[in-house]
Amino acid sequence: MRGPRPRLPALPALLWLALAPLPGPAARAELRVRVRLPGGQVTEESLQADSGADCVSLELRAADGALVTLTADFRQEVKIFRALILGELERGQSQFQALCFVTRLHRNEIIPSESMAKLRQKNPRTVRQAEEVRGLEHLSMDVAVNFSKAAQLSSHIHNVCAEAKEAIYTREEDVKFWLEKGVDGSMFEVLPQGSAVPELQRCRLCQDRWQPCRCSYSLSIEWYPCMLKYCRSRDAGGKVSSYKCGIRSCQKGYTFDYYVPQKQLCLWDEET
pLDDT, tens digit, for every residue of 104-122? 999 889 999 999 998 888 8
Q: What is the pLDDT of residues 128-155, one digit of tens each?
A: 999 999 989 999 999 999 999 999 999 9
For residues 77 and 156, the answer to whether their CB atoms sit within 8 Å is no
Question: 255: helix, coil or strand?
Answer: strand
Sign of CA dihedral 158, 160, 163, 166: negative
Sign of CA dihedral 255, 147, 46, 7: positive
What distance in Å separates the CA atoms of residue 209 and residue 212, rounded to the nearest whole number?
Answer: 8
DSSP annotation string for 126-186: PEE--SEEEEEEEEEE-EEE-GGGGGGT-TTHHHHTGGGTT-EEE-HHHHHHHHHTT--GG
What distance in Å separates the CA atoms of residue 11 and residue 44, rounded to the nearest whole number?
Answer: 10
Question: 261: helix, coil or strand?
Answer: coil
For residues 159 and 59, the answer to whether their CB atoms sit within 8 Å is no
Q: Which residue has the higher pLDDT, 192 or 109?
A: 109
Burial profile 53-74: b = 16 or more Cβ within 10 angstroms, e = fewer: ebbbbbbbbbeeebbbbbbbbb
Residue 127 pLDDT > 50, yes or no?
yes
What distance in Å separates the CA atoms of residue 68 and residue 73, rounded to the nearest whole number?
Answer: 17
Question: 18: helix, coil or strand?
Answer: strand
The per-residue pLDDT for 93 is: 64
The per-residue pLDDT for 123 is: 85
Q: What is the pLDDT of residues 70-100, one digit of tens each?
A: 999 999 999 999 999 987 766 666 678 999 9
Q: What is the pLDDT of residues 231-240, one digit of tens each?
A: 888 887 778 8
Residue 16 pLDDT > 60, yes or no?
no
For residues 114 and 10, the answer to whether their CB atoms sit within 8 Å is no
Banded pLDDT at 243 (limits 50, 70, 90): confident
pTM of the predicted protein model? 0.85
* C-alpha Rg value of the chain to the nearest Å: 20
What distance in Å separates the CA atoms of residue 133 and residue 116, rounded to the nearest whole number?
Answer: 20
Question: 219: helix, coil or strand?
Answer: strand
The per-residue pLDDT for 83 is: 97
Residue 170 pLDDT > 50, yes or no?
yes
- CA-nearest of 259, 233, 260 to 245 is 233
Q: Which residue has the higher pLDDT, 29 or 178?
A: 178
The per-residue pLDDT for 153 is: 96
Residue 15 pLDDT > 80, yes or no?
no
The per-residue pLDDT for 192 is: 84
